[in-house]
Amino acid sequence: MMIKLAKIIECTGGRVVPGSPDYSDSDYIDNVVTDSRLLKEGGDYSHTAFLALKGEFFDGNDFIEPAVCAGVSFIVAGPCEEKARCALSKGGKTVIVCCEDTLKAYGMIAAVHRESLDINVIGITGSVGKTTAKEYVSKAVETLGKTRKTPKNHNNEIGVPRTVLGLTSDTKNAVIEMGMRGRGQISFLSGIARPHIGIITNIGTAHLELLGTMENTRLAKLEIADHMTADDYLLVNGDDTLLKDSEAVLRSGGRRAIPRILTFGLGENSFFRGGNVKVDPSSTEFDLYIGGKFAGKVTLPVTGEHFVYSALAGTGAAYLSGATPEDVREKVIPALSTVTTDDTGRQRVFEMKKGCLIDDCYNASPEAVKAELKILERLSGGGRKVAFLGDMLELGPVEETEHRALGAFCEEIGVDTVVCVGRRAAAIPEGAVSGKTVFIRFEDSSGAAEAAGDIVKAGDTVLVKGSHAMNMGIISDKIRELFEG
């Protein structure tokens, strides 16, 4: 990375603080630091910029003086000219620029670096499954050359610029996950990453508390196309009814250019299609079709139909990045088979002496919970099916409706016992009508964990599913203890 100081000042709209040393057109930075604690005594920071981000519990402007003393060549700060003047009075050779919004400035600096690179960028967004899809896409396109990806789930306006600024000229592919908190954020992140291939995993209920309606959620996710051209590709879930008319929605938005749209899914009309899906406790198999032609049989060492969608997205990304049908058969499919739950950090299935546990305590949107309940149904083998379900968060106006719908779904697929954990989950039994499913309620996960020994029996298949905030992991730990005994 090498960005001229003059270019940074221009793109951030910043004002050089009086008292800053003169700089020339040749002065540049090759590193951006957002945490002053990383500036170690004696380090060489002659081409380093310190970006003074502001958070809920900190203000980067408070660390301008230590950054000057450490010897950074450049600082991008928020409105704080008095602090900047004070820091400059201590000496040093730091150019300080004050701008209105350092978070936005971070993105603009990353965008400048992105423009300097000839690189294939794949952007991923969606309500559910972004991080899992990112892992499959990364494995697939790695078969074509050096690939970098968003670490963990660093998919916001700090994580995306940090990932982009870490890209180098020898990188062939970059896989960038994009999350959001509201309208306009995906567009901002897309403007930084400038994807050639955009992927939308689905449109779900996960953001309704923020966006109010599914239509607003769809429009927000389609913002990934805001900075794509007619030569680029948008790959969408063809089984999602809210994505089937993506082209019409994009055209109605008045965009200057519409990327070419292809679909992935299990439906007959998807360009990248999975057929004959088979799920067992240790793997998921499916037949892969590209453009209606059989491309190979895929075996994933994970459990669940929803992983097929991520694998299809990965296949699509590789194919659209230049993989031939032979590459798909000989390189991409074997690469997909190496992705495990250790990579995705989500669901784990434990087959133990006294029973089977499906442990997934990362998130709990309606779509994600139903996907895990389907796995519970498939893996039970005729034995009892027990589900510990925690509150589903951030559902806004449909919170009660979606929890009730979950009760009806549990009854429909024949779950024997549902343990409802949390205030919102108390509405789950209200959706049941036949009385065939037993519902038990607990205020919190501690109470449910304590009672697990009286609820779970040897031979059961048990699902534990809930948002991280619900601390459902202590229930999983208790059940593993019971099944291992």
Domain membership flag for residue 454 = yes
Domain that holds residue 52: 3-107
171 and 317 both lie in a single domain: yes
Cβ-in-10-Å burial (0-12, 13-18, 19+) of 2 comes to exposed
Residue-level pLDDT at 358:
95
For the chain, 485 residues long, give each residue's pLDDT as a single digit of tens.
899 999 999 999 999 999 999 999 899 999 999 999 999 988 999 999 999 999 888 999 999 999 999 999 999 999 999 999 999 988 778 999 999 999 999 999 999 999 999 999 999 999 999 999 999 999 999 999 999 999 987 999 999 999 999 999 999 999 999 998 889 999 999 999 999 999 999 998 877 888 889 999 999 999 999 999 999 999 999 999 999 999 999 988 878 789 999 999 999 999 999 999 999 888 999 999 999 999 999 999 999 999 999 999 999 999 999 999 999 999 999 999 999 888 876 788 899 989 999 999 888 899 999 999 999 999 988 889 999 999 999 898 999 999 999 999 999 999 999 999 999 999 999 999 988 999 999 999 999 999 999 999 999 999 999 888 899 999 999 999 999 97
483 sits in which H/E element: helix 473-484
> Which of these three, 297, 314, 343, is where a domain ends?
343
pLDDT at residue 345, as a whole number: 67
Q: What is the DSSP string of 261-281?
A: EEEEESSTT-SEEEEEEEEET
Flag whether 68 is in a domain: yes
Among residues 316, 343, 370, the one where a domain terminates is: 343
Query: In this predicted structure, what is the pLDDT of residue 153?
Result: 79
* CATH label of the domain that carries residue 216: 3.40.1190.10
Residues 286 and 352 in one domain: no
Read off the tokens for 114.
């992105």
CA distance linking residue 420 with residue 430, whole number of Å: 11
CA terminus-to-terminus distance, the chain: 55
- What H or E segment, with its residue span, contains residue 368? helix 366-379
- Same domain for 158 and 236, yes or no, is yes
Domain containing 446 — which CATH number? 3.90.190.20
Q: What does pTM read for this prediction?
A: 0.91
- Is 227 a domain residue? yes
Please tell me the predicted confidence (pLDDT) of residue 380: 87
Do residues 313 and 382 both lie within one domain?
no
Closest residue by Cα to residue 445 from 467, 424, 465, 474 = 474
CA–CA separation, 118 vs 170, rounded Å?
A: 9
CATH number at residue 98: 3.40.1390.10
Distance of CA 16 to the CA centre of its chain: 37
Distance of CA 219 to the CA centre of its chain: 18
- 387 and 443 part of one domain: yes
Q: What is the pLDDT of residue 253?
A: 80
**How many domains does the structure of the chain reveal?**
3
Q: Evaluate whether residue 112 is within a structural domain.
A: no
226 and 368 fall within a common domain: no
